[in-house]
Chains A and B, each alone.
Chain A
């Protein structure tokens, strides 16, 4: 029996599998969500900010929350593949291995966006400061894409190590610093009402990092998962 698996069908299959498994277990999103809410609560009670300073720290608090929660999600997402040898099952399929990478990346991105969609209104209520705006949503889309693109690659590298839980943040955080800085600057700009054309440098930087990280991951994923 001869079958050819198209690149896009393989991506769809991996996304479908991750979404169905998460719908059942709710381990990944619930873990990320509880962690994010705790971070927001802790910042809220520990900083005791005046209304005027709240606006200036909002972007930083939001992005630190998203990035830390994202690490939990990325670790869990690859740990599931390591259980029962499932990663080998994926690698044994007659598909371009980068399709597996894109499938995992897109699923991780969806999980991150779900968490972001919940924490934005919670943050707005807790800090009594509306943060929901098209500009911020746009920056979250761009920033989280770059983060997930490189994060999924590094998580597939870290998952092969015994110290994977510690290894991933150590590898990931230094690499995503440009994304974090650009995301915080652009988000802050949108939140304090700076015009879009004044933020284009940060947006371009984010877009450039998204392209670079996705391209690098596309090129090296096969080598990273190779024994």
Chain B
């Protein structure tokens, strides 16, 4: 299986604060990796660097054979991104939003693809309605549609369940499952262990600026992801206390 994402010795600072510290991370083609970690661990920063929205201070990043930040435009073509915000225009309809993005992505005859996407996300009946009339769940479904419109190799999801109720989250999970089963590489950050436990094939724990642990779904302990996650965080906290001499 070939490596699609490879990060070596990544450092990212905001002022004097080092958010990512010599981070190493790789993802193989077709993997669904969940990045877990507490608030402020650097999950969003990592995804913003991967999506070329932010530049690293040090380190090498390659996605689909192209390096960042030098070949950012080529990398962006391979990426689909879903973030906390839908990245959609409130005064445009669902169809117009997808048409706009299809033009930005250089798709020549996008109508069939737009119709296919609207069907996939279950919004074909509301395609003429303005986005600002949509619920948060509907906006997020369309955001996934926007992210996969150009059929990207890699899908980056930054806490896509934020602000969604139970039903909308379940619908989003079904949609993500459909997307993942089409062989795309997916990297998702999340706080919600219960949700990602049934979706991801690998779980990486990011805290204190580094990937501290990585485990395949098949190697999870008997009591599951929550137990594993808590044990890793406790161990890291204990090690930090020992180093500080407390």
Binding site for B on A (CB under 8 A): 1-6, 9-10, 12-13, 16-17, 20-22, 24-25, 80, 83-86, 88-96, 226-227
Main secondary structure of the interface of B (DSSP, over half): loop
The number of residue pairs between A and B whose CB atoms lie closer than 8 Å in the complex comes to 97
Instruction: Tell me the complex Cα distance, A24–B73, Å.
Output: 31
B86 touches A85 (CB 8 A): yes
The answer, yes or no, to whether B77 is at the interface (CB within 8 Å) is yes
Q: Which residues of A contact B150 (CB under 8 A)?
A: 1, 3
Top 3 closest A-B pairs, CB basis?
A85-B85, A89-B87, A5-B106
Q: Which residues of A contact B197 (CB under 8 A)?
A: none
Q: Which residues of B contact A83 (CB under 8 A)?
A: 90
CB distance from B155 to the nearest CB of A (A): 12
Among A10, A80, A86, A94, the residue within 8 A (CB) of B76 is A94
Binding site for A on B (CB under 8 A): 48, 51-55, 73-74, 76-77, 79, 81, 83-92, 96, 100-101, 103-108, 130-131, 139, 146, 150-151
B91 touches A91 (CB 8 A): no
Q: Which residues of B contact A91 (CB under 8 A)?
A: 53
Main secondary structure of the interface of A (DSSP, over half): helix
Among B52, B89, B139, B146, the residue within 8 A (CB) of A80 is B89
A90 touches B104 (CB 8 A): yes
Known contacts A17-B92, A21-B89, A85-B83: A2-B77 contact under CB 8 Å: yes
Q: Chain A: which residue is nearest B72 at the CB level?
A: A94
Q: Which residues of B contact A93 (CB under 8 A)?
A: 76, 101, 104-105
A16 touches B88 (CB 8 A): no
Q: Chain A: which residue is nearest B146 at the CB level?
A: A89
B87 touches A9 (CB 8 A): no
Known contacts A84-B85, A84-B88: A9-B76 contact under CB 8 Å: no
Q: Which residues of A contact B89 (CB under 8 A)?
A: 17, 21, 80, 84, 86
Known contacts A5-B106, A83-B90: A95-B73 contact under CB 8 Å: yes
